[in-house]
Amino acid sequence: MDFLLIGLYLKWPLRKPPGLILLLWCSLGIMLKMVPSVEGVCPRLCRCDSKLLYCEGLNLTDVPRNLSSALGLSMRENNLTELREGHFAGLSQLTWLYLDHNNIDVVEEGTFDRLRRVKELDLSTNHIESLPNGTFRPLPNLRILDLSYNRLQALEPDLFHGLRKLTNLHLRYNALKFVPVRIFQDCRSMQFLDLGYNQLQSLARNSFAGLFKLTELHLEHNELVKVNLAHFPRLISLRTLYMRNNRATVVVSTLDWTWPFLEKIDLSANEIAYIEPHVFESVPNLKALMLDANRLTAVEQRILDSWSSLGSITLAGNEWECSRNVCALAQWLSAFRGQRDSQLLCSSPDVAQGEDVMDAVYAFQLCEDGGDQSTTTMSWYPGYTAKDQAWGGPTANPYDPPAAEGGAVITNSFTVTVANLDDIESTMQIHKVVT
């Protein structure tokens, strides 16, 4: 810049009045102030890429000054503890702001004033316990908001008011106990909502009102005691629902509604013992269903009929009762061509405990028409006491006669024994007979 050379080439007339010299120096100072501060100056120890500033892991306790033209600012892994009103007032050009992995526990309502251009805000992994109602009101263009890994115990009812462009909201790993009614009413662009790993015990029917574009909802690792699809009305775009690791004992639907795009539901690791027969009729295009690690003992035929669209299912780790009640499920599994657990184990009766459901069905001939459904099939061999034996599935017959009466060949014999059986005479030996 030519004006910087004035002092080098100017020959000061010794006889000129000192007022002229003062005037020249004032002019020089004014011109120097016109030079942008960020364009050529990067805060000490920070890394700068044009107008993007990365002041990360520097143990900073405050925001660097004179960054008015910055478009992006990352202050991750510092020691910020408070965000006060007007804290970022001089950063009106920012489009993203990362403040995660600090020690922030106070966020005042006017903190983000004048940050209208911000599209992404990361406040995750801090110590925030509460946020004022108007915290995010100055951010009408916000698309992504991350509040995960904090200590939030409640959400103010208008906390997300006005965030019509918000698409992704992360709230996992907090201490939330409930979701206020219609809190997301203005978030009509939201596609992803994560409320996993909180302490939610129940949901209101209108908790998710307004989320017409939501495609993915995370509610896993909470304390919900019921799965009711009526809690998700008008989520017409929903594709995946994660509710694993809750305390749900039943799956019901108290609303006549259809979710045409819902393709994946994860209900694993709950305490589900009952499913209303009509529930899955409201999700006609379901592709993947996780029901493993629950307390199901059987599945009704109407439910199985509604699983016609499934391509993947998990059912292991339930309390399957290997009696006639399991026949409908066994028949469905034998015809299912999608992905499923390699093994479903019997939980009862005692003689079948720990055995594969399909093996037990064939071994006991549970689903044979005309059989005595109240009789347990058992066998006993000399040298073994019924009290000592336990169900071991198909086993080799220690007596291997070459043929049975009438010339039939006996193959694949197996034994079934009830523990603590007192009447040895009542035991039976079952053989698969091939004629």
Cα dihedral value 168, 174, 176, 179, nearest 10? 0
The phi, psi pair for 305, rounded to 5°, reads: -65, -30
Q: Please give the span between the terminal C-alpha atoms of the chain, in angstroms, as a whole number.
A: 106
Q: Which residue has the tokens 């009408």?
A: 140
State residue 87's pLDDT score: 86
| Residue of 299, 295, 245, 300 lying closest to 267 (CA atoms) | 245
Contact 289, 313 (CB under 8 A): yes
How many Å apart are CA 416 and CA 320, to the nearest integer? Answer: 18
Domain annotation covers residue 246:
no
Domain annotation covers residue 318:
no
State residue 342's pLDDT score: 87
The phi, psi pair for 30, rounded to 5°, reads: -65, -40
State residue 425's pLDDT score: 37
Domain annotation covers residue 404:
yes
State residue 252's pLDDT score: 97
Q: What is the pTM for the complete model shown?
A: 0.77
State residue 349's pLDDT score: 93
Domain annotation covers residue 215:
no
How many Å apart are CA 6 and CA 28, to the nearest integer? Answer: 8
Walk along the chain (435 residues) and give the pLDDT tens digit of each residue: 443 333 433 343 434 455 544 444 444 444 433 333 344 578 888 999 999 999 999 999 999 888 888 999 999 999 999 999 988 988 999 999 999 999 999 999 999 999 999 999 999 999 999 999 999 999 999 999 999 999 999 999 999 999 999 999 999 999 999 999 999 999 999 999 999 999 999 999 899 999 999 999 999 999 999 999 999 988 999 999 999 999 999 999 998 889 999 999 999 999 999 999 999 999 999 999 999 999 999 999 999 999 999 999 999 999 999 999 999 999 999 999 999 998 899 999 999 999 999 999 988 888 876 444 443 333 333 333 333 333 333 433 333 333 434 444 333 334 444 344 344 333 333 333 333
Domain annotation covers residue 9:
yes
| Domain span including residue 415 | 377-435
Domain annotation covers residue 402:
yes
| Residue of 109, 66, 108, 115 lying closest to 88 (CA atoms) | 115
* Structural domains in the chain (count): 2
Domain annotation covers residue 410:
yes
Domain annotation covers residue 409:
yes
Axis crossing angle, helix 327-335 with helix 357-364, rounded to the nearest 10:
120
How many Å apart are CA 77 and CA 57, to the nearest integer? Answer: 5
Beta strand 120-122 with 96-98: parallel, antiparallel or unpaired? parallel
